[in-house]
């Protein structure tokens, strides 16, 4: 065996040494040759590349199937492990929902009966106008927005402006095509509110921060972080029950509320006409509205009544007061 392998080793050993010595140079030359061939005949290279992909893809598909199967089996095992817990949770939620459904039915029936007994008058239907925010006019000293709806759309000064979550502000100025909305965080904003849990009344006062203050709270008011804040309906500016925010912090000096909107993420708003008259009570402010005729003091009864906007009642003509004479003869019933 040693003699038989000796001549072969002497023949192939120089070849193997030469290949090891010039392998790097051969690879570089091969790369340049392929590059030149690709520049010279791109169609041929594309065909070779496509044929190589077609040749390799079946093997790659076979190699990937075990991995995909293992992933599928692993996901199924994990889903089976959590299926029991999810089933228990759904059963518990279903039981709670059925209980709440029965409570809701009882309350609905009781509410309808009480309304019939008390002859409850439903509030007037509200009118809504959807608008897009076209500019954020706020800064360090003012929090306001401009919306793409004006008096031509039925938007009037004082109407409530709502987002998807709750109250965002009110219409401060109404033009023909656009309006300016004063946010509840502005320093000029004052809104009568109440705490949902304790029904304590207060004012939501803006201070040009993201967390307005609760002012004029009574000394025995019960307020805790997490309590919802709603409009109270006092003053006739807004109807009661509109969500305003959530109490974020309570300290000895201040109670702050987190609004239900993010100022820089608001895109669309709703201007709601509740038919209330609580903000605009000055006739001069009503005469400045674009719908009203500036030449006379009468108002158009066809105008939609908004928050604080309504037809101005005409003042009755007062008759001249009667004049009485100081002499006894002037009055027939006078006695000496």
pLDDT digits (tens, 9 = 90+) for 225-243: 999 999 998 888 888 999 9
Q: Which whole-number Å values give the CA distances from 81 to 76, 94, 128, in the listed order?
A: 9, 21, 50
321, burial (CB in 10 Å: exposed 0-12, middle 13-18, buried 19+)? exposed
pLDDT value of residue 211: 94
Given a cut of 70, whether residue 323 has pLDDT beyond it is: no
Q: Which two tokens stand for residue 54?
A: 């077609």
- Which percentage of the chain shows pLDDT scores above 70? 77
Q: What is the pLDDT of residues 181-225, one digit of tens each?
A: 999 999 999 999 999 999 999 999 999 999 999 999 988 899 999
Residue 184 near residue 145 (C-beta atoms within 8 A): no
Q: For residue 220, which of 236, 237, 197, 200 has the smallest C-alpha distance?
A: 200
Other CB atoms within a 10 A radius of the CB of residue 24 amount to 9
Beta strands 144-147 and 160-162 are: unpaired
Rounded to whole angstroms, the Cα distance separating 174 from 286 reads 12
Given a cut of 80, whether residue 317 has pLDDT beyond it is: no
The DSSP secondary structure of 205-217, one letter per residue, reads E--SSSS-EEES-
Given a cut of 90, whether residue 296 has pLDDT beyond it is: no
Q: Quote the mean pLDDT of the chain.
A: 78
Q: Which whole-number Å values give the CA distances from 124 to 121, 160, 162, in the listed order?
A: 9, 15, 18
Q: Which CATH superfamily is domain 129-273 in?
A: Rod shape-determining protein MreC, domain 1 (2.40.10.340)
| Rg for the chain, CA atoms, rounded | 41
Residues of the chain with CATH 2.40.10.340: 129-273
Backbone angles phi, psi at 192, to 5 degrees: -70, 125
Cα angle, residue 184 at apex, residues 182 and 186 outer, rounded to 5°: 65
Place of tokens 């409530």: 160
146 - beta bridge partners?
A: 135, 180
Residue 206 backbone class (left: φ over 0; alpha: ψ -120 to 50; beta: rest): beta
Q: For residue 229, which of 209, 248, 207 has the smallest C-alpha distance?
A: 248
Residue 128 near residue 153 (C-beta atoms within 8 A): no
Q: What is the pLDDT of residues 247-275, one digit of tens each?
A: 999 998 899 999 999 888 899 999 999 88
> Does residue 290 or residue 204 have the better pLDDT?
204
Is 166 in a helix, a strand, or coil?
Answer: coil
Cα angle, residue 44 at apex, residues 41 and 47 outer, rounded to 5°: 150
pLDDT value of residue 166: 92
């Amino acid at each position: 065996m040693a003699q038989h392998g000796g001549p072969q080793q002497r023949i192939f050993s120089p070849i193997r040494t030469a290949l090891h010595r010039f392998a790097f140079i051969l690879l570089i030359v091969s790369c340049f040759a392929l590059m030149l061939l690709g520049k010279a005949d791109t169609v041929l290279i594309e065909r070779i590349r496509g044929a190589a992909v077609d040749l390799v893809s079946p093997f790659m598909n076979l190699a990937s199937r075990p991995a995909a199967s293992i992933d599928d089996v692993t996901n199924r095992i994990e889903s089976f492990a959590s299926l029991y817990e999810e089933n228990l949770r759904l059963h518990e939620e279903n039981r709670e929902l059925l209980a709440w459904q029965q409570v809701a039915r009882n309350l609905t029936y009781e509410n309808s009966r009480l309304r019939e007994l008390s002859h409850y008058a439903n509030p007037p239907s509200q009118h809504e106008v959807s608008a897009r925010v076209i500019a954020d006019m706020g800064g360090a000293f003012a929090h306001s927005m401009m919306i793409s709806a004006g008096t031509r759309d039925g938007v009037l000064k004082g109407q409530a402006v709502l987002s998807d979550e709750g109250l965002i502000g009110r219409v401060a100025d109404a033009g023909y095509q656009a309006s300016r909305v004063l946010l509840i965080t502005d320093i000029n904003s004052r809104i009568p509110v109440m705490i949902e849990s304790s029904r304590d009344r207060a004012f939501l006062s803006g201070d040009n921060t993201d967390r307005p203050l609760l002012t004029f709270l009574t000394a025995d008011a019960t307020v805790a972080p997490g309590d919802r804040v709603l409009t109270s309906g006092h003053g006739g500016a807004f109807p009661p029950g509109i969500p305003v925010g959530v109490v974020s912090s309570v300290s000895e000096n201040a109670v702050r509320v987190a609004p239900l909107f993010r100022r820089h993420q608001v895109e669309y708003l709703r201007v709601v006409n509740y038919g209330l008259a609580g903000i605009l009570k000055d006739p001069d402010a009503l005469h400045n509205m674009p719908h009203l005729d500036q030449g006379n003091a009468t108002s158009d009864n066809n105008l939609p009544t908004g928050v604080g906007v309504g037809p101005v009642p005409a003042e009755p003509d007062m008759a001249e007061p009667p004049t009485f004479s100081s002499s006894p003869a002037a009055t027939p019933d006078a006695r000496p």
